Amino acid sequence: MNQVGRPPKFASGEELESLIESYFADCEERKEPPFITEMCVWLDTSRKVLLEYEEKEEFRNTIKRAKQKCEAAIEKGMMLNKMNATGSIFNLKNNYGWEERIKQDNTHEVGTETKSLIEKALGDL
């Protein structure tokens, strides 16, 4: 039977996990944090292909763990002032779904004169 299309980039989840673990070991040896894009270069693939593989059950957990390790390294590096905070925040927002939450307080104190006018207006209803 002739197969159509490109052969799979990774033969199995185990193969991918082994390659990813070798990337993390290399980062540790170099004493550098891991990054998703650099990991893709190590795997000789693209972010797009890696994210497509994440949709496949066999690869999902391996890729999610790898992404989580990269995210944790960025967060830790930023919090320990070992990475540029602006770049780290940009990366976390754009690649890991982080978002800023702004709390707005929409309460307003109403003065005595305003209260009287409101009460009078309501009383006239």
Q: Could you tell me the pTM of the whole model?
A: 0.75
- Identify the sign of the CA torsion 41, 60, 34, 47: positive
pLDDT value at 125 more than 90: no
| pLDDT tens column, 57-82 | 999 999 999 999 999 999 999 999 99
Do 33 and 75 form a contact (C-beta atoms < 8 A)? no
How many whole angstroms separate alpha carbon 3 and alpha carbon 117? Answer: 81
| Mean pLDDT value across the chain | 90
What pLDDT score was predicted for residue 3?
A: 65
